[in-house]
Amino acid sequence: MNIKQRLINESEKDFQKFSASLIPNINNVLGVRLPKLRKIAKEIYKNGDWQEFINLGDFEYMEETMLKGMIIGLVKQPPPKILELVRNFIPEIDNWSVCDCFCSGLKFVKDNKELVWNFIQPYFKSKNEYDIRFAYVILLSYYIDINFIDKALKIIDGFKDKRYYTKMAVAWALSICYIKFPEKTLEYLKISKLDNWTYNKGIQKICESLRVDKSTKTMLKSMKKK
């Protein structure tokens, strides 16, 4: 059975409707749940067919692209080789779901932070919406730590894009910064140059966290810009 047919067989009509409603900018969602996709990705990787699969392009379904991203996350090769696979895959990202799933699977970043930090810098300045989102989701996933928090806040403050999925990624990153480094992030919020929408959305996402107490949420809400 080929991979496309396997995905079609694993798809669920109700889940397809739900998933498609969450990703309004594309129309090629099959409706395969993430655990099933991860299982298929591991099978392809273990069977040794992964290089042939990731060399394919022009997929018909979103889940095929997502599968390719998951397989790249499983690859055990020298970090520069993995980054070459990442670089080649990024232009194929055309929605937030593929972007975020791909980023969460790139566990090799944890042991190669300086290398990957340098790699993602051009993507923060890209003209492409999902290049930018990729960079910020990598940042919020792996770089909100004691060694990178100052650099992360500086990059967040330099954000200028006006598109929805980039702004949402920056707001999400800002909320992770606050949850992990509340004092440092609060000081940043007082001098932030972010546009009002992204700044306010960041505060909203902080206030949605169960790790922030009620009085702090009240204080943060008072800091929203009009």
Residues 122-144 have pLDDT tens digits of 999 999 999 999 999 999 999 99
The whole-model pTM stands at: 0.95
Task: Decide: 101 and 62 in contact? Cβ < 8 Å.
Answer: no
> Backbone phi, then psi, for 195, in 5-degree steps?
-60, 155
Once rounded to an integer, what is the mean pLDDT over residues 211-218? 95
Q: What is the mean pLDDT of the chain?
A: 96
Give me the residue spans of the domains in the chain: 1-111, 145-226
